[in-house]
C-alpha cells in the first residue's frame, strides 16, 4: 500500500505539444503542465517533538532575523551597550584628570560626570564599530562559503583586526589581523565546547 496517491490520468491535450515523441510529450505535460494539485503525504520525523509547518509570516521573520543587515545592526547596538557598560566601569574606577592643576583645585561633580560621559561614549562607539564590522564580515564570509563552522569567525576576525589595525600602519594591521583572528578562534572554540 503506497502512501502517495497515484497521479491523475489526463487525456492528452491537442492544443499544446512540447515534443514530437509522444512519451516525452506526455512526460512534459505531466511535470510542466500539470495544473491539478493534490496533497502529498509528507512524512516528517518527530524526534524533536511535534512538527509544525511554518507559516509565511514566520518564514518572513526568520529570514529577516538571519539577514546580514539585521545581524550587523544588532551587533552594533549590543556592542554599543557593552562598550558603554565597560566605559562606565572604567571611568568610575580610574577617572581621567585632564587638568594638570586638578590637585590644587577641587573638581566639581559636573566635570567628573562630563569626563565619565566622554569616556563611556568613546568605549561605546569603539565596541559598536567592532561589533558591526565583525558581524558584517562574518555573515558575508558565511554566505559566500555556504558553511557554518569555526573558519568563518577566524577569517572575520582576521579581516576585522586588519581593517582596524591599518589605521596605525601596515605592521599594526598585520598584528591586529593575527591577534583578532586568534582571539576569535579561541572564543569560538570555547563557545562550542560548552
> 183: phi > 0 → left, psi -120 to 50 → alpha, else beta; which?
alpha
Place of cell 582576521: 158
C-alpha span between 136 and 162 (Å, rounded): 15
The residue ranking higher by pLDDT, 9 or 93, is 93
Average pLDDT, the chain: 82
Q: How far is CA 29 from the centre of its chain?
A: 43
Q: Are 145 and 155 in contact (CB under 8 A)?
A: no
| Predicted structure pTM score | 0.66
Q: Residue 68 pLDDT > 60, yes or no? A: yes
Annotated domain spans of the chain: 68-132, 149-194
CB of 47 closer than 8 Å to CB of 41? no
pLDDT in tens, 33-59: 655 555 556 666 677 677 777 888 998
Q: Would the pLDDT of 69 be above 90?
A: yes
Specify the pLDDT at position 82: 96
Of residues 179 and 15, the one with the higher pLDDT is 179
pLDDT at 158: 95
Burial class of residue 109 in the structure, from the number of CB atoms within 10 Å of its CB (0-12 exposed, 13-18 middle, 19+ buried): exposed
Amino acid at each position: 500500500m503506497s502512501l502517495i496517491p497515484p497521479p491523475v490520468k489526463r487525456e492528452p491535450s491537442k492544443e499544446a505539444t512540447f515534443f514530437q515523441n509522444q512519451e516525452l510529450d506526455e512526460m512534459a505535460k505531466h511535470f510542466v503542465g500539470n495544473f491539478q494539485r493534490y496533497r502529498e503525504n509528507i512524512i516528517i520525523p518527530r524526534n524533536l517533538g511535534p512538527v509544525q509547518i511554518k507559516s509565511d509570516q514566520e518564514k518572513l521573520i526568520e529570514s529577516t532575523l538571519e539577514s546580514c543587515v539585521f545581524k550587523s545592526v544588532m551587533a552594533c547596538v549590543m556592542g554599543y551597550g557593552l562598550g558603554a557598560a565597560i566605559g562606565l566601569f572604567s571611568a568610575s574606577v580610574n577617572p581621567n584628570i585632564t587638568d594638570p592643576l586638578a590637585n590644587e583645585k577641587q573638581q566639581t561633580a559636573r566635570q567628573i560626570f562630563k569626563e565619565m560621559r566622554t569616556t563611556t561614549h568613546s568605549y561605546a562607539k569603539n565596541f559598536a564599530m567592532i561589533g558591526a564590522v565583525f558581524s558584517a564580515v562574518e555573515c558575508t564570509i558565511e554566505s559566500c562559503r555556504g558553511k557554518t563552522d569555526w573558519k568563518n569567525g577566524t577569517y572575520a576576525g582576521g579581516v576585522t583586526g586588519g581593517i582596524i589595525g591599518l589605521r596605525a600602519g601596515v605592521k599594526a594591521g598585520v598584528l591586529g589581523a593575527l591577534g583578532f583572528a586568534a582571539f576569535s578562534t579561541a572564543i569560538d572554540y570555547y563557545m562550542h565546547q560548552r
